[in-house]
Chain A
């Protein structure tokens, strides 16, 4: 059955303006850090091939604009996402506070099938800086309260934890994908079977 699975993962990066979304993406995809990124207008886009659970999948990473007035444009990007990465800046408490609204906004706009278990990953970025203001404990608490979202502290500049975080993202996205397909397959199956006049096909069980 594995061959039938889509080998494309759509990942959305959300978070306040200038928390380092673009840098994280580029660090992960190009293994490079530059302090010369322009503010993202609209959205940016990268792909990367990754190996997860011995499978090669293409990860589509969508980097979005952080400013609030661009949020209404987000809908176009959110659709069909497999995983959502919430980024905040450990030196900017506000960007941490806003995680809530980013998460809610995503859930409302993307309307995933199972909002409770949709895979999120939270990244606290810029840990290389000295003036840290959001404690690890606080962030972890928040993540736990939201159905145990995996949490990583990263530095796009130093490349700390970026690889690992994105591995988790890919893994979780893939799981979501699998689950989604289980749900997805049933209606399709009925149509297929109705042509064959067979009420059920045990071969198509995903479990």
Chain B
């Protein structure tokens, strides 16, 4: 890429020339190539230490006589630089050669390159060339995928074992990475943001601690502060991503909003600028209580004229798309929020004395003037305001017809249900009103009022009832949301009313009378109805929160003073802005703030802290303080005053009051011996808090009079402000929240893991410690994978937009379905999908050495009995445990099973075989041919019929109609199915997806092992993950529907099995199948297409095997494999299970796998065993290919329980007849097939018959193999999973292997 020409004095140090021309040299940096000479090592060290970040290639322009050279182009790859070189060759060489003067040549070149540079840079992302080089180096060094975006890099020293290492600290969206290269010694470190447990900074050193107790410290000479903030911010984003359920965006964050309007150019990388802007915007939004969509556009220094004090106050003007704000330099002196849409005019004022003052006057639609002076860049400001005003979008309030006339918006309930106040209280209210009126006269009213300390003083005294609605709306910021979304509330109410049988609605209904029962308004239908509508509407608006107890209590108070719609918007602003994450699952936000409170107690009330910590009181009592803003613990009249302050101050007031409450009871608390006592102390104190402004007549409130009154709420608030108001700042709270967000999330993980370990402690393979390690590694692997996928999504949705999407982009990866039951979805966090399983399998187990067959994939399919695409933790430990254990017999059996069709299908064997006729000694040959086989799972899975294979269209139709048939039978119309999918918000309902989903649902009706396409789609590619997730979800729904309702499931199952086999069938039979499919008999038609008898027998048998039960005592049983193949406690019918015989090809692969797992050349004994087995197989041919055993098998099957299908009492007779029907068809098929066997076989025809008939049973196999000492020994050695896991973690940290 072309760069701004730079003068060079030492053109060739560190560089090797690769190409010459008269005026140009193409150079390559030493130390970037393969050569490991001392020179390149030195250059590498130099680059690493001095952070010169040169691109590996460059083009230098020079003239023979001049000392000076110019760097004109750099390249990250050879191709890139070669392109530039070619361009020079084509366009410049000739022209330059014709020039006479060397100066002219240089000038011309530089001019040309400059123009190229500016031209190219216009359509680029705006990153500097340096940064691009840095990014590419980062990706290369740490093997990061394209999606991982670098934010910035810093020169840093990493101290390890007291040895400092100078290098580069890279900060990308998901990782902190460090690279240093000192004289041949390379150090790489990768730390994910999500795994950071502690971040701190001391002067220039940043300390990081991860969840697995690794500590790092990096010393940065420059920009330590910036790096630290960046790490904090990105960590916060990473943790928030964990809290967020990405499936349901709370608020529609339009990515285009992030397109900044600013035009300032800066040298900083785009992403860094964006992150900084985001940080600033957040502060800005929190301070002025603006909607989440507001992005700060810029700030300009100016003075504001405050008419009440008749003077100018210095501060900054802040601009965002919809708001014009001002904030004074002196804290809380004055601030102003003016919505852009209310700006009527902006005038420059240049008359008289103010001529040089750079004044402007803004007049709002209410004719209120705001005067600003000493504006640093007045012209810029005005043009920006003009620009913003022109873009402003005023939502039109739609006067729409009401669809539902059964409700009307309730006005503030206090008007309907008037409390009888004493004359004194009324006078008190009136006095307050007078003071507020006076305040309005001086400071203005409405959104655009001057917000000063005077207003705080008024609020602390309590807002008069009549004004509460107005003031609450303004200070909570709810008014902005309301104005931007006219009509939304009505829509939500009406939509919510149509939802039936919703769990959240049941919960809401139960709590309606338990919200504010002491108030008459909530003993009437009016109040209850309004509360129901508000809560239901909110549950619909924000499904992630839904309904959480405590929301009912706060909403009912809102409803007393506000109109229904306003109450709704206040609730929204409470849940989304003021108390972030409070009402989500596990009330995580409130738990985080409990942690913050705990730390605040430690700093401010140190003597009490230890004592309280011992009692554990804070954790017990404070959750309701946070969730209900004290409304559930003190009388609601008293809590009103705290609420008044809350809207102005935010969560800060809760902390202040909480600290004050604890402080007030200090002595009593110190005397408490146990948690109960402490609870009582605080409870009594809180119940005694009263509000003289609302002292209701004693007649209605006997109970309260009995109690001792402890303190007025006014004193409480006042004291809280005096004692803690100064020290507690929003910023401090945010910092502490960041810290405790990490700790709380970490604690959740720890608790979860403990519980899961407890649940699985009885497993036969791993002990407590090993289970913990396994859970850790699963969590880590899943996080890594997830963040990557999330980013890929973001990339797709954003294309070229440089801004990254925050946590709430509408196009998110749908949350993984929850296939595993278990308490509170606790276990679901540890379900693994195929990718994770495969990584774990290949990294942790000894069977990774097997490359010719992807055993991991087979094992996954075998273990994932229900075809969900996920393994729960129990399944996982059984699968991995067996492989790592020393149970040689079971392991061999497992290996045998894994090489059976359909796990190892014929198609796969074909693929993995050399495409030439095989000789007798083919197995030997195959060993040598290992390099031919790839271990890429995706490829072998593609060999299976994938849904996109066009030749399967016919079958698709058959299956779809079969599904519909199923649904009809089950009394579920196709519509239901569509309904289900419609409920998934992100589902792209193109016909393709839905038909896939439908098809999959049939597959899973009862056929776990035969279910190829599902597995295939679920794991086929990374790119299609989004759809896959939905498919899986749908598939499950479909599956459950059909399972419970269908009776003759077994023969349907058999029919379903066939499509995968069809893959091996010729094209002709596929067409036949298509024709037959149209003929609509789904049961038998597919069977007819099967040309290979032994395959179906294998298949059916394998299906049986899947239902096998572990209690069988027969040596042919799977023994402890039962864990894998079925739940150990399931069924006790004691039926004999049959493992089908292995055919030759499969056996040969199996043998190869064994050799590979052993990792050695086969010795004499093994060779003998192999020959023996081949011989045994041959002798087996003489027996009749057992149709007999096949029937037996199924007869056995028809009688016994089939837990996988449905446990539905099928009529045995019907089933029997249907199976018989199947056999008859098969028999005919067989005869036909044998007739044209020679034609249908693909391989060398002569060997087909024998190789088809060749088979070996598991007993024969095991018996023979067990005679081979080396194999037995090899399989008997158990693997220490902990060591493996530690190694894997180390490898990840040091970037020796990545999972991307």
Contact = CB atoms under 8 A, between A and B. Distances in A.
Interface stretch (A66-74, A131-139, A157-165, A167-175): A66-74
A18 B514 contact: yes
B517 interface: yes
A86 to B, nearest CB: 15
A37 B514 contact: yes
Interface string A36-77: 111111110101000000000000100001111111110111
Given A45-B683, A47-B680, A111-B758, A39 B514 contact: yes
Interface string A97-124: 0000100110011010000000000000
Interface string B282-305: 000000000000000000000000
Given A45-B679, A72-B748, A38 B632 contact: yes
B510 A17 contact: yes
A195 interface: no
B1252 to A, nearest CB: 52
Contacts of A40: 549
A82 to B, nearest CB: 12
B676 A18 contact: no
* Most A C-beta atoms less than 10 A away, residue of B624, B680, B748: B624
Interface stretch (B316-324, B613-621, B812-820): B613-621
A190 interface: no
B627 A41 contact: yes
B553 A39 contact: yes
B621 A42 contact: yes
Nearest to B627: A41
Contacts of A37: 514, 517
A201 interface: no
Contact of B553 (A38, A42, A45): A38
A39 B552 contact: yes
Interface stretch (B87-95, B160-168, B565-573, B585-593): B585-593
B510 A38 contact: no
A43 B620 contact: yes
Contacts of A76: 616, 619-620
Contacts of A39: 511, 514-515, 549-550, 552-553
A38 B623 contact: no
Nearest to B511: A39
Nearest to A60: B676
B518 interface: yes
A45 B549 contact: no
Contact of B620 (A18, A77, A104, A111): A77
Interface string B746-757: 001001000100
B513 interface: yes
Contact of B548 (A67, A79, A101, A109): A67
B623 A41 contact: yes
Interface string B534-557: 000000000000001110110000
Nearest to B517: A36
A105 B513 CA distance: 28
A41 to B, nearest CB: 4
Nearest to B545: A69
B823 interface: yes
Contacts of B550: 39, 41
B516 interface: yes
Interface residues of A, number: 35
B515 A71 contact: no
A67 B755 contact: no
B548 A17 contact: no
Contacts of B624: 41-42
A35 interface: yes
B1213 interface: no
B934 interface: no
Contacts of B676: 8, 10, 45, 47, 60
B1246 interface: no
A70 B824 contact: no
Interface string A171-204: 0000000000000000000000000000000000
A145 to B, nearest CB: 16
Interface residues of B, number: 41
B507 interface: yes
Interface in B1153-1185: none
Given A71-B824, A73-B591, A45 B623 contact: no
A10 B679 CA distance: 13
Given A18-B511, A35-B513, A108 B679 contact: no
Given A36-B517, A41-B627, A70 B549 contact: yes
Most chain A beta-carbon neighbours within 10 Å: one of B514, B515, B549, B552? B549
Contacts of B759: 108
A72 B585 CA distance: 9
Contacts of B507: 17, 67
A65 B549 contact: yes
A73 B517 contact: no
Contacts of B587: 69-70, 73
Contacts of B627: 41-42
A68 B546 CA distance: 12
Nearest to A76: B619
A63 to B, nearest CB: 11
Interface in A1-58: 8, 10, 17-18, 35-43, 45, 47
B674 interface: yes
A69 B748 CA distance: 13
Nearest to A102: B823
A42 B618 CA distance: 12
Contacts of B621: 42
Nearest to B748: A72
A41 B632 contact: yes
A38 B586 contact: no
Contact of B516 (A18, A38, A65): A38
A48 to B, nearest CB: 11
Contacts of A71: 824
B730 interface: no
B1284 to A, nearest CB: 29
B637 to A, nearest CB: 15
Nearest to B824: A71
B709 interface: no
A67 B823 CA distance: 14
B552 A42 contact: no
B640 to A, nearest CB: 16
Contacts of A43: 620, 623
Contacts of B758: 108, 111
A104 B826 CA distance: 13
A41 B586 contact: no
A36 B635 CA distance: 13
Nearest to B586: A72
B503 to A, nearest CB: 10
Contacts of A101: 823
Given A41-B632, A108-B758, A36 B549 contact: no
A205 B44 CA distance: 75
Contact of B510 (A18, A75, A109): A18
A202 B627 CA distance: 54
B620 A42 contact: yes
A65 B586 CA distance: 12
A79 B591 CA distance: 18
25 contacts: A17-B507, A17-B549, A18-B511, A35-B513, A36-B518, A38-B517, A39-B514, A39-B515, A39-B552, A41-B549, A41-B553, A42-B627, A43-B620, A45-B676, A65-B549, A67-B549, A69-B585, A70-B623, A72-B824, A73-B586, A73-B623, A75-B751, A76-B620, A101-B823, A111-B758
Given A45-B676, A73-B591, A75-B751, 15 more contacts: A17-B507, A35-B513, A37-B514, A39-B514, A41-B627, A41-B628, A41-B632, A42-B620, A47-B676, A69-B587, A70-B587, A76-B620, A108-B758, A108-B759, A109-B755
Interface of A: 8, 10, 17-18, 35-43, 45, 47, 60, 65-73, 75-77, 79, 101, 104-105, 108-109, 111
Interface pairs A-B: 3 shortest CB-CB:
A42-B623, A36-B517, A41-B624
